[in-house]
Amino acid sequence: MSKWNGKKLLSIAAALSLGVLGAAKVQAGYTTVNAPWKGEDSQSDILSHAYGGSFVQNGLNFSNGSVSAIRQDDSANAVFHFDIASITTISTFSGWSQGLAYGDVNAPTQLFNVTGKGYSAVGGTGPIDMPSTYSLVRTGTGGNWSSDATQNADGADHLITYLLTGTGTKAPTYVLFWEDGSKGHGDFDFNDLAVQVTAAGCRDMATVPLPAAAWSGLATLAGGVAVAGYKKARRQMA
């Protein structure tokens, strides 16, 4: 290995270690999900209808025994870093109109509008090349609400995200539950709009949100890569 390649390996290993270790320091934060409004379905009901079986809650997660919905850290789903393979509306439980967009909450680019209510709701999109980093925005009656809470007029989190794992889940697939009411006026049961988002073309290791527990494992792995790379580079450059 040349000295140039050895130095390059050292730089890459150091960057990997610092990047992942830095992410590991982020504290997990989970927004409270209230019980659904009388007569409306809960998140477990919606998951059961969409994927079959009976989804039972265990801590922050749900599972029907073959498919699990793993709750994502709400501080990690503010922005997204992947191209979209597809988005499909699962349900709406709201008297207000619904839609999905991306970009600035005040001037978003519309992806689609939803028609119908409950489990008859329809709306979605096929493959889309997205910006390298973007926020998703719920649109419709009641105002626009971004996945990035800092963009929202009420400063509140309006999105709960679950990663689907298990039978039949190959590409990174998420279920996004949106709240369409404002802080102080909404019920914050996060069932107003539910969509399935399937990722495509993962760009890098930080492409998709990861559960907080996963970061510790990645940090250990990155540290090992950095040390091994350093030792190997030193031997080659000697």
Residue 78's CB: how many other CB atoms inside 10 A? 19
* Sheet with 61-63, edge to edge strand ranges: 56-58, 61-63, 67-71, 159-166, 173-178, 193-200, 83-92, 124-125
Instruction: Please state, rounded to an integer, the average pLDDT across all residues of the chain.
Output: 80
Over the stretch 98-107, which tens digit does the pLDDT of each residue have?
999 999 999 9
| Residue 220 reports pLDDT greater than 60 | no
> Furthest-apart CA pair in the chain: how many Å?
72
| Residue 214 reports pLDDT greater than 50 | no
140 against 26, higher pLDDT: 140
Residue 169 pLDDT: 80
Side chain identity at 70, as an amino acid letter?
Answer: I
Over the stretch 4-53, which tens digit does the pLDDT of each residue have?
343 333 333 333 332 332 333 323 579 999 999 989 999 999 999 999 99
Residue 213 pLDDT: 40
Side chain identity at 77, as an amino acid letter?
Answer: N
pTM: 0.74
